[in-house]
A and B are shown apart, each in its own frame.
Chain A
Amino acid sequence: MEGRKKTAKRMVGQEERFLEAFDTYHEALFRHATLRLSDRERAIDLVHDTYTKVWSYIKDGHTVEQFRPFLYKVLNNLIVDEYRKRREQSLDALLAVEGVDEGAFPDLQESSVESLAATLDGRKAFEALDALPREYKEVIILRFVDGLGPKEISLLLEESENVVSVRLHRALGQLRKHMAAAEEAAEVRRRLHKPKQ
């Protein structure tokens, strides 16, 4: 009896811990999903599904030691499923077009990602985010919105840290290109408008 009581107490703890994990992370997960999917309503649903899946997992007798990585993992899988439903180009297709293997730059380190990022305007970069291919958008969001380190991202995406660094690097490069293009377009528009007035 004594033993059972103890188990029960631990399990009540499970419920509380789960709800605490909801209160702590749901907003960040929602933001992540919204930015990835560009669809608020769907993002709310996916966050809901994430928590119900995790709850079912706990109900089946598993223990979740750390909620944050686990929740992100589940959400990420749901987002990937969502992408599959929408059937758009995959990273493989993207790389095939570029014709470069990701392992080609072993010397790219986190520090070079930082120095590249330092040259960009954060606000404009955010606006250009939607123009990026999904896989690039994903790493940028994980790194700069969710604040995950390269190691955490690599665990989540099941890729090597190196691959993550390279991808981040390229994503920032593309962001810069898009921002430059947007600026140029704005400049052209300004010039077109001027003679009229």
Chain B
Amino acid sequence: MKRFSEQFKKEAERVTLRTSESHDLRERVVAYMEYHPLPAEMRTVHTIVADEMLSPVRSMFFVWSKFVGAAAVLLLVIIPAAAEKALPGDVLYPVKVRFNEEVRSSLSFSTYSKVEWETERLERRLAEVRLLASEGKLTDDVGAAAAVAVAEHAAAAAQEIETMRENDDEGAAVAELAFATALEAQTDALETTISRAGVDVSAAGGVTAALSNAQAAAQADEQKPSFERLLGLVEQKTTDAQELFASLKPIAGETAKADIERRLQDIERKREEAVALATAPEENDEGGDTTVSSTTPAYDQTKARALLKEILQATEKLTLFMSDIDLSTHVSVEDLVPVEPTEEELQTILTQVQGDLDTQVKALKVRAGDEPNDGVVHGLTTIEQKMASSSEAVAGGDYEAAIVFTREAYALASDILRAFDVEEDEQPATDEEVDSEKPEDTSANSSPEASTATGASSTMATEVTDVRA
């Protein structure tokens, strides 16, 4: 019974409102509540009733002003507001692109805000493409038009950046970096959507090409902007992301909330790390002693800047994930912004993989018996070497490397064990067979390192079988 209801319910739970739909629905209901308020005696605020004498004049005026007002509201507020949601092919789409966006263009005065706005327009075209693609409605015409628009906005942004460079070199570098980051995040998102939705790529092909052209043109300068400007940009973007998250909180699901919160914590941790790296040692050392103590984190501006750029990239993608909730039904947040484990988490993982390795090695020794052949001996030596490198890495505080070594050792042990099995079954082992069956435990916490390690060690394992044969 339980199984049936659970399966059934799980299936039914795939029918969900998109966050944007949920949001719109709430707005509509709240608007209804505002237009149909509780009767005066039920409300807290009592408005004072207008002067009786003036009421006939007022009501005449009221009727007219209401009419004209309504028409103006319709033309200037309702239609443009409704048009904001339009997609290519909708009746209101031209209003969105030619009226709303042009009005906003004319309202951006500073060069920096112009670059930002061109970036946003580019992002809007791509969001439309993704939305249509995920619904399988992307036609060649729309794809081509979007490709032209992407190229146009990218060129406009690049031009504004050049203008800016003439009198504000640093500012231009900041704008350029923000633009390049946005492009990269968009490219990633578009690629994932296309591969997930399984759409005909030909329609989106032009867009992808336009995007990679723009990306090639917008290679940000490595040495600029300065650390302070970069930190400023990071702080602005992370604050935006936090605010967006706060506004989504009431409507987002529990898992989505937990996922996003975790990513924001990762970003915050990295930011602190970067600040610590960039703080000059003499500022750290209050005693005024010029010798740099080895315990303070190394002063490394380049590394700190690289970290900040990583943060920018992650924040940009996270923001994209949050603001473009339609995307989130097709792409998991893990694809866009993977979790970054803390030191404690790394230690736990390490203990776990070490435990797995121990059991595997014990099993291997039992299988090999008292007189292991050369292949097994060679394998065991390699495993021991890897374990030694792992302990070394732990001593140096590099848990990630330690985990990689341990996983390699584990993969090797598993492969040798499997070689025994294959031999017992009297089936010649081929590389593909060994490759295709990855050990269960490594796939549970799969990382690119672990899988390449399996690939590499499987060749060793076949060597081992050769030796035995």
Contact = CB atoms under 8 A, between A and B. Distances in A.
Contacts of A121: 4, 7
Nearest to B29: A51
A126 B12 contact: yes
Contact of A56 (B9, B30, B36): B36
Nearest to B31: A52
Interface string B9-26: 111110111000110011
Nearest to B11: A126
A11 B38 contact: yes
B25 A35 contact: no
A122 B1 contact: no
B29 A11 contact: no
A44 interface: yes
A11 B43 contact: yes
A117 interface: yes
B4 A120 contact: yes
A129 B5 CA distance: 14
Given A8-B44, A35-B15, A144-B8, A59 B29 contact: no
A50 to B, nearest CB: 10
Contacts of A14: 38, 42
A115 B6 CA distance: 15
A152 interface: no
Interface in B184-237: none
Interface stretch (A19-27, A81-89, A97-105): A19-27
Contacts of A35: 12, 15
Contacts of B3: 118, 122
B303 interface: no
Contacts of B1: 114-115, 117-118
Interface string B335-351: 00000000000000000
B41 A55 contact: no
A193 interface: no
Contacts of A55: 29, 32-33, 36
Interface of A: 4-5, 7-9, 11-12, 14-15, 18-19, 22-23, 26-27, 30-31, 34-35, 44, 47-48, 51-52, 55-56, 58-59, 61, 114-115, 117-118, 120-123, 125-127, 141, 144-145, 147
14 contacts: A11-B43, A22-B26, A31-B16, A48-B28, A51-B29, A59-B36, A61-B42, A117-B1, A117-B5, A121-B4, A122-B8, A123-B7, A126-B12, A144-B8
